[in-house]
Structure 1
Amino acid sequence: MSRLKKCAAVAIVLLLFAQRAAAEQLPVVASFSILADLVRVVGGERVSVTALVGPDADAHAFDPTPQDAKRLARARLVVVNGLGFEGWQQRLVQAAAYRGEVVVASSGVRPRGHAHEGEHEGGHDHGHLDPHAWQDPRNVIIYTANIAAALARADPDGATVYRANAARYQQALRELDAWAASRFAAIPVQQRRAVTAHAAFDYLAARYGLRLTALQALSTHSEPGARAMGELVRRLRADGTVPVFAENLHNARLLRQLAGEAGLTIGGKLYSDALSGARGPAPTYLALMRYNVDQLARGMQGK
């Protein structure tokens, strides 16, 4: 056999092996990009993950299509955040006639109530849950355990792999949490203040002792009225100079208006409900958190 034919034969064998491996992967659908990243980390090469709402896309504005229903119908496992984040979930599951397990990744997390509209500080529970629990790395340790357990149920042969991957990732989450706590501890308490686009960071604020004022309430569709805007401007003027952050999913028009009227300047951009693309600063959950913490800390320090 000539060398060329040998190379061709090897290529065919490798292709067939790759196709077989792909066919044997567990098909998983995650509701949005952050969850999809967690599933990929825990599942490794044993899973094939599809995110319904991809990077830089808003899950609040997601409108499922027939193609999304087809993706769900082909899945062996569906992973959602829960806490009311995916208001479209049940409708899509029914449309897809999906009969498999729907894993609520936040199961076991102690939920927080959301703040008043236009305010993002703890202690203002109106009976509605804040779904952004992933903003506290300690909660993602729980997410990871739930995902690993669900993958093991769907694929018992991979249980050992899933547990090992989850354990390694949970250690990385603990290290992330310690680093973030140290980063904010270096900032005087009175300086740990900022303005964000919407109320997506209450878990982070509660974890690290921050005071964050949000322009919008939990949903990216709601906007403060003239009275709320006026009150925000008055408060910000009285409080003095604080850093203002845009978000990857939001039009900065209202932020520019607020900042202009309060005499403030918009600083960096935070990632709240979605990862960035692969070339962006937040292509994974760990990168997202490190980027956000660094942006907030630098802004609070006036850098």
Structure 2
Amino acid sequence: MRKFIAATLLLSPLFAMAKVPVVASFSIVADITRELGGERVEVQSLVGPDQDAHVFQPAPADVKKLAAAKVFVVSGLGFEGWMPRMSRAAGFKGLTVTAAAKVKPLAAAEEGHHEQDGHDHGSVDPHAWHNPQNVMLYADAIADGLAKADPAGAGYFRQRADAYKTKLKALDAWAAQQFATVPVAKRKVLTSHEAFGYLAARYQIRFMAPQGISTEAEASAKAVARLIQQVKKEQVKAIFFENMADKRLLQQLSNEAGVKVGGKLYADALSSDGKASSYVQLFRSNVETLLSAMR
């Protein structure tokens, strides 16, 4: 009888299923992957909440973590400039999933998009997750990748991806409806770096920033002076800080341009305080914060 019970437990899916070890490049992609993978995956993020993926330098522990993974999920579009070197260092033999593979990229801002130390994003803006419609494409790509790594869970991953996309569709419709209550002429925002191009394009918002696409880009004194003049001329109402950026430059702009600080935006990372601990929370928080200043 005991042998029969033991055999039954071993054959039970609950006991037999080993979770797929997955490494995600940074917190936002990690959250989306957990949403889709559910109980069939174990996801670790290389760059955590409130941390800047632009300046990430892999440590030996990160290389070891990737070497043990079966799936490596990255956003793509050049966002993780350190990714190819890290994969080689780890001798990674698993499946690399590029979440933004089918996203139609936007061109990078003309100024400030050339980076140093291997973090060059080239001519495209990599921050595609700020449009929920793009995250729907992320969901498809990640679900397909997980299904390749775990064929038995293909139906499970697809079901969760479809449910997540339904949630994203409702989120997008809500945001469009909310921004429609503000005249386009008043949808002007000043923030630290050019991270919100996809949000701007989707909801007709104009973003201005002293830095370029990456937080590594240095804002020149001439560029800052020009931006102050522009802010005054166009009557921008508020400046927004980002959760993983240096606040000193924006504080200078706020003081010299006479513009109030409108709140905190989440650009390239989730938060560790629970206010934006998931992608859905991040997006909703950003929309609500922007609207409160625009109105």
TM-score above 0.5: yes
TM-score (norm 2): 0.91
The Cα of 1:127 is off from its aligned counterpart by: 6.1
User: Does residue 1:256 correspond to 2:251, yes or no?
Assistant: yes
Partner of 2:59: 65
Alignment of 1:164-243 (within 5 A): 164-243=159-238
Contact 2:131–2:199 under 8 Å retained in 1: yes
Partner of 1:10: none
The Cα of 1:34 is off from its aligned counterpart by: 0.4
User: Which deviations, in whole Å up to 9, do the C-alpha atoms of 1:96-130 show, x marking residues without a partner?
Assistant: 111111111000100011113379xxxxxx96111
Identify the match of residue 33 of structure 2 among 18, 33, 39.
39
The Cα of 1:223 is off from its aligned counterpart by: 2.1
Distance 1:127 1:69 in 2: 25
Contact 2:186–2:294 under 8 Å retained in 1: yes
Report % sequence identity: 50
Alignment of 1:48-87 (within 5 A): 48-87=42-81
1:244 is paired with a residue whose SS is strand
Distance 2:112 2:93 in 1: 40
1:198 is paired with a residue whose SS is coil
CA change 1:233–1:118 in 2 (3 A) is: farther
Q: How many residues align?
A: 278
CA change 1:61–1:118 in 2 (3 A) is: closer
1:148 is paired with a residue whose SS is helix
Q: 2:191 is aligned with what amino acid?
A: T
Q: What runs of 5+ residues in structure 2 fail to find an aligned partner? A: 1-8, 114-120
User: Which deviations, in whole Å up to 9, do the C-alpha atoms of 1:42-89 show, x marking residues without a partner?
Assistant: 000000000000111100110001111111111010000111100110
Q: What runs of 5+ residues in structure 1 fail to find an aligned partner? A: 1-13, 120-125
User: Which deviations, in whole Å up to 9, do the C-alpha atoms of 1:28-50 show, x marking residues without a partner?
Assistant: 00000000001100000000000
TM-score (norm 1): 0.88
Partner of 1:283: 277
Distance 1:73 1:224 in 2: 37
Alignment of 1:57-206 (within 5 A): 57-117=51-111, 128-206=123-201
User: Which deviations, in whole Å up to 9, do the C-alpha atoms of 1:218-268 show, x marking residues without a partner?
Assistant: 110112111111100111111124211000011110001111111111120
